[in-house]
Structure 1
C-alpha cells in the first residue's frame, strides 16, 4: 500500500519506476475505460480495453483505447 492507486497518474509512474521501464515499454490492460485506458494514455502508455461482453464502446464516450480485445488470449502469439 502506497496511499494512492488507479486512476492517479502517480500509481502508474510508481509501477513503471519500480519495474525500470518507461511508458513506451508499458501496456495497461483492463476493463475500466477511465482508470485503465484514459489515465494511462495521458502518460503515453499503450492501453488495451477488454470488452468481455462484446458490447463495444459506450455511446458518447470520448475514451479511445489503443486496442480492444474480448479475451486476454487474443494477446498470445498464434501457434
Structure 2
C-alpha cells in the first residue's frame, strides 16, 4: 500500500474508509483523530509533500490545529 501524507493512494482509501464509515465505534476519539489526519493530509498538496519527502523532512502540526479539528469531529 503506497501512501504518503497528502498523497493518499486508492488502496489506502479502499481499506481505510470502511473503518471510518462502517467500523465499530467503541473508541470514537480514534476516529476523530484519524479523520483529522486524513483531512489535514489532503490539504497539504502533492508538490509540497514530494518536496518534504525528497528533503527527508517531516511535517509539524501545532497542537492548536489538532485540538480545533478534534473538537469539531469528536463533539459535533
Instruction: Calculate the TM-score normalised by the size of structure 1.
Output: 0.29
Q: Which has the higher contact order (CA 8 A, sep 6+)?
A: 2
Higher helix share: 2
Higher strand share: 1
Instruction: Calculate the TM-score normalised by the size of structure 2.
Output: 0.30
